[in-house]
Homo-oligomer: A and B are copies of this chain.
Amino acid sequence: MQPHVVIVGAGFGGLTAARRLAGAPVRISLIDRNNYHLFQPLLYQVATAGLEPEQIAKPVRAILRHQSNLTFRMTEVTGIDLSSQQVTSAEGPIAYDYLVLAVGAETDFLGLGGLEDDSLQLKGLTDGVTIRNHVLACFERAAADPQAERRAELLTFVIVGAGPTGVEMAGALAELVHLVLVKDYPELEGKEIRILLLEAQDQVLPGFDPALARSAQRTLEGKGVEVMTGARLANYLDKRALLADGRSILAETLIWSAGVQAEQLARDLAVEHGRQGRVIVEPTLQVPAHPNAYVIGDAAYQEADGQPLPMMAPVAMQMAERAADNIRRAVEGRPPQAFAYRDPGRLATIGRNAAVADFGRLRFRGFLAWVVWLVVHLIQLIGFRNRLLVLINWAWDYFFYDRAVRLITSDPLRGE
């Protein structure tokens, strides 16, 4: 019988590893708790009513239908036993000869009071829909509320963390509000609405070139976002966001995009961990002392130039290729090779015609960066149909200053 490769997680890393092993003399079991692969970089557009959730996700079985050495299982993996070489799942134990742990990251609330219960996050597909429902319901409730103070609270949106996700979310939310919703709600005045972007560090987009970051901040401010750098959140209780310096903001909505950590499953592994609970792997991506187990992507800790590799799709996909190749080499009796990251650069979009691109020596912003962002994201999105529908939605919104998906699809009147 051919060796059994178990891949946990069908994100960018797991999916790439599975595909890379097509045709290899192994049996692959790909396991995910969802039946779809999510294109997370566009999730903020679901949250801001620009895209339908189904357009940035694709069923795993549809993606890998033609790969004959692969079986997909939708189940929750509950534990990993490196010694006995098996994962435990809701459907019982699954033994492996080789393991690829590609479980990604989850939100880290950094132990801040009230956040886990009352803030919104942007990790899974349903999170995007939850934010959309919540934001639109705030507008409906404000439109019906005669009290100016309560209206102000309902119409204050705080985004914490100005990494690419926070910046993109703030820009898209500002455009949703000021280009679309103000026309939907003639009952409300534009100046009642506040969007705040809080960042603990001293620039937005930490890790980007400072000049690009300043430009991004100016663009955000031009769209009506109040940017506060050096602003650290202390807690969020009773709809009040308290900052470390004592200032406080009354807001019905707080979107937390300031902390991530490796998924529980990776943090629980009985091995050494680096920052954010990531598993410290060998240069070959193997788990120390367990050479047939690999950890890749957000769940793996490795440094380049003295810095931890970022939690980004390109890292996960490149690691997946290395891990898959190393498994193939092991099956063939050859030694594994070390991983080396090729940095493709960073992109972040702020809204219509506005983005920043940081490709190391090549840095640019504005319309050109925005076009590059569009093309890169369209190409990476899986499935021609998804690409076509997303392109139509983008063109529609661009030319008509619209956001078509502004539906409230859960029972919002019963409160969040």
User: In the complex, what's the smallest C-beta–C-beta distance from A270 to chain B, in angstroms?
Assistant: 26
Interface hit among A180-188, A241-249, A271-279: A180-188
Number of interface residues of A (CB under 8 A): 49
Contact of A374 with B by CB under 8 A: no
Partner of A407, one of B36, B143, B187, B392: B36
B interface footprint on A58-77 (CB within 8 Å = 1, 0 otherwise): 11011001000001011110
CB contacts (< 8 Å) of A200 on chain B: these are: none
Contact of A8 with B by CB under 8 A: no
Q: How far is the CA of A270 from the CA of B146 in the complex (A)?
A: 32
Partner of A35, one of B57, B386, B388, B408: B408
Q: Are B404 and A75 interface neighbours, CB within 8 A?
A: no
Q: How far is the CA of A126 from the CA of B129 in the complex (A)?
A: 13
Partner of A410, one of B54, B126, B185, B404: B126
Contact of A144 with B by CB under 8 A: yes
Interface of A is mostly: mixed
Q: Are A59 and B184 interface neighbours, CB within 8 A?
A: yes
Q: Are B74 and A405 interface neighbours, CB within 8 A?
A: no
Partner of A57, one of B75, B125, B129, B407: B407
Copies in the complex: 2
User: In the complex, what's the smallest C-beta–C-beta distance from A80 to chain B, in angstroms?
Assistant: 18
Q: How far is the CA of A125 from the CA of B129 in the complex (A)?
A: 14
Q: Are A125 and B409 interface neighbours, CB within 8 A?
A: yes
Partner of A408, one of B34, B129, B383: B34
Partner of A405, one of B54, B61, B410: B54
Q: How far is the CA of A91 from the CA of B61 in the complex (A)?
A: 47
CB contacts (< 8 Å) of A136 on chain B: these are: 35
User: In the complex, what's the smallest C-beta–C-beta distance from A348 to chain B, in angstroms?
Assistant: 26
Measured CB to CB, the residues of A under 8 A from B are 33-36, 52-55, 57-59, 61-62, 65, 71, 73-76, 90-91, 125-126, 129, 136, 140, 143-144, 183-185, 187, 383, 385-386, 388-389, 392-393, 396, 402, 404-410, 413
25 pairs, A vs B, C-beta closer than 8 Å = A35-B136, A35-B406, A36-B408, A53-B407, A53-B409, A54-B404, A54-B407, A57-B407, A59-B184, A59-B406, A62-B184, A62-B402, A62-B406, A65-B183, A74-B408, A76-B413, A90-B413, A126-B409, A126-B410, A385-B404, A386-B404, A388-B392, A389-B389, A389-B392, A389-B393
